[in-house]
Amino acid sequence: MDQTFLVNVFGSCDRCFKQRALRPVFKKSEQLNYCSLCVEIMAADGLHENETLASLKSEAESLKGKLEEERAKLHDVELHQVAERVEALGQFVMKTRRTLKGHGNKVLCMDWCKDKRRLVSSSQDGKVIVWDSFTTNKEHAVTMPCTWVMACAYAPSGCAIACGGLDNKCSVYPLTFDKNENMAAKKKSVAMHTNYLSACSFTNSDMQILTASGDGTCALWDVESGQLLQSFHGHGADVLCLDLAPSETGNTFVSGGCDKKAMVWDMRSGQCVQAFETHESDINSVRYYPSGDAFASGSDDATCRLYDLRADREVAIYSKESIIFGASSVDFSLSGRLLFAGYNDYTINVWDVLKGSRVSILFGHENRVSTLRVSPDGTAFCSGSWDHTLRVWA
């Protein structure tokens, strides 16, 4: 008796890459293997996936080309030309004024408190420490249940901190001065991502947190309930950094990722408002210019760049042939004249934002500088490094 056998081939589906039973699909004499779930999804889309994907790709490319043309039309002068009238800065002396020792492993992230002297820092071994950096005393310490705590933030009220990393979550810890109370007991899990948390920041209040993750998305969360208020999709790879805009309407933020793109988002609609793709490697850090009209980015391609939001283009590149290691974090001085950038070659370079020249190089750390923030009143800046220490410079 004849019997028909259906051979089940198991393998990796060409669409979702999961290990499933595969069905062969022939497109233009090329065989692709999809799992049954993907076949149904594609049928529901009503499209032949390959064809639309190719046409969308080419459409995106041609639109990018047009956008570059449009941007170039209004570009009538370079920043260093305009800055010729500005006085050059004199010799610069900044020294380490405080060294915070206490982390047992690489310091990955730090954030200042609004009181201009406290700060929170997180490290690879899971420890998150709140310091009064003026006295170098440790005020609070909590150990996270995961390693590589890559993001931490201080709440605007000064009453809580947020942190997260390889646990894919962002947790908020209220700060209590009761010595008997265990900080970890009151921990609140706010954000849930499907990959590591790379950056987090409170918005104007303690009630909302903005997060960026290795899963390629950013998200806005309500702290009290843990509810997702808005998610931001558009990066093609891990998102590594974000910064909230100091604008008048206060509704945008910028993010940078491994896809070399810096994207500006509207927090209300979740849509990408502007995108810039001129870096040659991962963007490790983004920071707004104090006026909110521009932002700077630091990247693994050893350059920092300034992007103007009104002109909608890159307006300056801060690079030097002798600087070959990536910039891990950047921040502006209060007037926006100086850009401080921490690099993976253990140094901090200070750039004249207007003239584009390097004003000074600061040595001191013994391993890569992973995080750098100027204090809220601009009197100093703090750098954290893989050498287990934080330094306050002024």
Partner 1 sequence: MAASPAPLGGHPRVQRPHLSKMERMVVTMQDPDQGVRMRSQRLLVTVIPHAVNGSDIVEWLMQKYSIAEDEALHLGSLLVQHGYLYPLRDPRRLELRPDETPYRFQTPYFWTSTLWPAAELDYAIYLAKKNIRKQGTLVDHEKEHYHQLHRKINHAWDLVMMQAREQLRAAKQRRKGDRLVIACQEQTYWLVNRPPPGAPSVLEQGPGRGPCTAGRVPMTKTLDFYRREVECLRRALGRARVKSSTCLEAYLKFSSQHGPHDPIMSGCLPSNPWVTDDDAYWAMNAPSVAMPTRLRVEQWAFSFRELLEDPVGRAHFMDFLGQEFSAENLSFWEACEELRHGGQAQVPALVDAVYQQFLAPGAARWVNIDSRTMEQTLAGLTQPHRHVLDDAQRHIYLLMKKDSYPRFLKSDLYRDLRAEAVVPWRPSDGEPGCARGSGRGRAAARPFSPAGCSCSWKPCTPAPALLSFRLGLWGARGWRW
d(CA 168, CA 222): 17
Q: Is 378 in the site for partner 1 (CB under 8 A)?
A: yes
DSSP letter for each residue of 211-256: EEETTSEEEEEETTT--EEEEEE--SS-EEEEEE---SS--EEEEE
Q: For residue 241, what are its two tokens? A: 């950094």
For the bound state, the minimum distance from the C-beta of residue 361 to partner 1, rounded and expressed in Å, comes to: 6
**Which of 153, 239, 225, 161 lies closest to 194 in space, CA to CA?**
239
Instruction: Give how far the C-alpha of residue 195 lies from the chain's centroid of Cα atoms, to the nearest Å.
Output: 14
Among 35, 183, 223, 245, binds partner 1 (CB under 8 A): 223
Tell whether residue 392 is a contact of partner 1 (CB under 8 A): yes
- Span interacting with partner 1, options 2-10, 26-34, 177-185, 307-315, rule CB under 8 A: 307-315
Residue 70 CB: number of other CB atoms within 10 A? Answer: 11
187 binds partner 1 (CB under 8 A): no
Q: Which of residues 312-331 bind partner 1 (CB under 8 A)?
A: 312-313, 315, 320-322, 324-326
Assess contact for 128 and 120: CB atoms under 8 A: yes
Tell the smallest beta-carbon distance from residue 343 to partner 1 (Å): 10
Pick out residues in 133-172 that bind partner 1 (CB under 8 A): 134, 148, 150, 166
The piece of 25-33, 88-96, 168-176, 177-185 that touches partner 1 (CB under 8 A) is: 88-96
390 phi and psi, to 5 degrees? Answer: -120, 145
Residues of span 286-305 touching partner 1 by CB under 8 A: 289-291, 293-294, 300-302
User: Shortest approach of partner 1 to residue 261 CB, angstroms?
Assistant: 9
Chosen residue from 234, 298, 356, 384 binding partner 1 by CB under 8 A = 234
C-alpha distances in Å from residue 389, one per residue of 55, 132, 341, 369: 51, 14, 17, 10
The least CB distance from residue 333 to partner 1, in Å, is 5
Q: Between 108 and 142, whose beta carbon lies closer to partner 1?
A: 108
Report how far Cα 378 is from the mean position of its chain's Cα atoms. 22
Q: For partner 1, which residue of 14, 125, 132, 345 counts as binding (CB under 8 A)?
A: 345
